[in-house]
Structure 1
Amino acid sequence: MKYIQSIQNPQIKQWKKLLTKKEREKTNTYILEGFHLVEEALHYRDDIIEIIVSEEADLPAYWDVSDISITRVTPEISRIISDTETTQGIFAICQIRNATTKDLTGKSYLLLDGVQDPGNLGTMIRTADAAGIDMILLGKGTADIYNPKVLRSAQGSHFHVEFLSGNLQEWIPKLKAANVPIYGTALENGIPYKEVQPEPSFALILGNEGNGVSKEVLSLTDKNLYIPIFGKSESLNVAVAAGILMYYFKN
């Protein structure tokens, strides 16, 4: 077990940099924070490079960390590398999973077109996991799934769902070629979602919080759907809308 006391240690600066997308992409690694997320990562231990634990925290006795590098740090260092106001004092440095294939596998898909809010993205990932969605396709402008806020909102579901990042306009024709129905979400020229009979295979497209799904992507869909509003609210949060639709189509 290593022990780091100095906040000037170069390793501390490196861990802190992992809170930025640029450094995550450069090193192909990311940082997890909190007991629950680190415990979930231990089920996929090949992803873990190192566990960092504050002097004020203790590793649970039932965790098997015999083959994992452990570094103890001071509470001050723990606060420096934390992305939360009150840290639990436990972190894991993990390897980013690179997709081994560009093939679209599975029957159910969630396509995200410029979903920018990390909390929304994490909630959608968690809900997709719960609903049994096979794959999430992350279009341009969508937040980084390894953003600390996304990781906290997803609560470990990024370990359970397959992801691909790229151009939705390239993937949609491939899904159509595989006979996967493509459903966009839009009020204009849309129909109430319950007018569509769920099928075993489907792809749902959710868009940017302010602008919705882009016109270019909507032009490629088979049908565009909307969720009726019965009260006085103008719209639903995109993560809530995604949850309603995913569970309806997975029924």
Structure 2
Amino acid sequence: MEMITSAQNSKVKNANKLKKKRDRDKTGQALIEGYHLIEEAYQSTVKIKQLFVVDVERLDEELMTYAEEVFEINLKVAESLSGTVTPQGFFAVIEKPVPETTQAKQVLLVDCIQDPGNLGTLIRTADAAGLDLIVLEKGTADPYQDKVLRASQGSVFHIPIITQELSEFIDHFEGNVYGTALENALPYQQIPSQDNFALLLGNEGEGVNADLLNKTTQNLTIPIYGKAESLNVAIAGSIVMYHLKG
């Protein structure tokens, strides 16, 4: 097994490039960090191109065999690859999965949510709630950004995620589409759970694009009983997702 001791090594430099969305899009690859995330990728049969590991003895033998290439690295290289202050010592370059999107009946639509923690939490909740698909409007945070991956806890590998114009998706979706808005909206509790639905969530500051709200079956609101001005979008989305699931 090759030992890499310099952050200037070409393989390390190429892995580091994947921290930029432009390079992830160009190569179809992503850099992930942490044993848990790598294990989730492996269990989801995501192709692992390269593994970079500080402590090889802690690596599962099946996982080591599954990866196309495995490299031992020192702490200095780990620090250069890491997106955190204290690196976990496990990194992988993966091929981003190509999602299967046909016949999705329960869908989360995301309109330009930009906080990675919010997007990661929503991906995790959609996975936990058993939704079929997540559709992102262009301008939404990248699901393969480091902070989104961490917040999703590996759910990014469990549920198909695509980027598409939401107006186009809504036009062809055979089911009810519910937006989240304050105007012309019903309290979410008045809507029954159902087998076929799409839930549309919007940007933290701006909310959902008005043109998209005009395409919905019904817009929903969550009552505020205390003094808070509003709910965080990830919390609001989680409440309504589970309600629609029944």
TM-score scaled by length of structure 1: 0.93
| Code of the aligned partner of 2:139 | G
| Code of the aligned partner of 1:8 | Q
* Residue ranges of structure 1 left out of the alignment (5+ in a row): none
Partner residue of 1:66?
65
Distance 1:158 1:3, change over 3 A: same
What CA deviation, in whole Å up to 9, does each residue of 1:131-175 have, x standing for no partner? 011111111211111001110000110111012211001010101
Partner residue of 2:120?
122
Partner residue of 2:195?
200
Partner residue of 1:186?
181
Residue 65 of structure 2: SS of its match in structure 1? Answer: coil
1:231 counterpart (226, 230, 242): 226
What CA deviation, in whole Å up to 9, does each residue of 1:65-121 have, x standing for no partner? 224221111100100010011111101110012346xx5422111000011111100
Partner residue of 2:18?
18
Residue 3 of structure 1: SS of its match in structure 2? Answer: strand
- CA-atom RMSD in angstroms: 1.5
Q: Which aligned pairs between 1:153-164 and structure 2 lie closer than 5 A? A: 153-164=151-162
Aligned length: 245
1:218 counterpart (213, 230, 235): 213
Give the distance between the partners of 2:92 and 2:51, measured in 1 at CA.
4
- Per-residue deviation at 1:7? 2.2
- Per-residue deviation at 1:26? 1.4
| Code of the aligned partner of 2:185 | G
Distance 1:232 1:76, change over 3 A: same
- Per-residue deviation at 1:58? 3.8
Distance 1:5 1:94, change over 3 A: same
Give the distance between the partners of 2:216 and 2:135, measured in 1 at CA.
15
* Residue ranges of structure 2 left out of the alignment (5+ in a row): none
> Contact 2:180/2:200 (CA < 8 Å) preserved in 1?
yes
Partner residue of 1:84?
84
Partner residue of 2:2?
2
Give the distance between the partners of 2:146 and 2:208, measured in 1 at CA.
25
Percent of residue pairs bearing the same amino acid type: 44
Larger mean Cα displacement after TM superposition, 89-98 or 61-70: 61-70
- Per-residue deviation at 1:2? 1.6
> Contact 2:44/2:158 (CA < 8 Å) preserved in 1?
no
Q: Which aligned pairs between 1:95-134 and structure 2 lie closer than 5 A? A: 95-99=95-99, 104-134=102-132
Partner residue of 2:39?
39
TM-score scaled by length of structure 2: 0.95
Distance 1:46 1:194, change over 3 A: closer
Give the distance between the partners of 2:224 and 2:238, measured in 1 at CA.
15
Give the distance between the partners of 2:165 and 2:99, measured in 1 at CA.
15
> Contact 1:28/1:95 (CA < 8 Å) preserved in 2?
yes
Residue 215 of structure 2: SS of its match in structure 1? Answer: coil
Residue 66 of structure 1: SS of its match in structure 2? Answer: helix
> Contact 2:48/2:66 (CA < 8 Å) preserved in 1?
no
Give the distance between the partners of 1:126 and 1:211, measured in 2 at CA.
23
For the pair 1:49 / 2:49, whether they are aligned, the reply is yes
Residue 64 of structure 2: SS of its match in structure 1? Answer: coil
Larger mean Cα displacement after TM superposition, 46-55 or 185-194: 46-55
> Contact 1:105/1:135 (CA < 8 Å) preserved in 2?
no
- Per-residue deviation at 1:3? 1.3
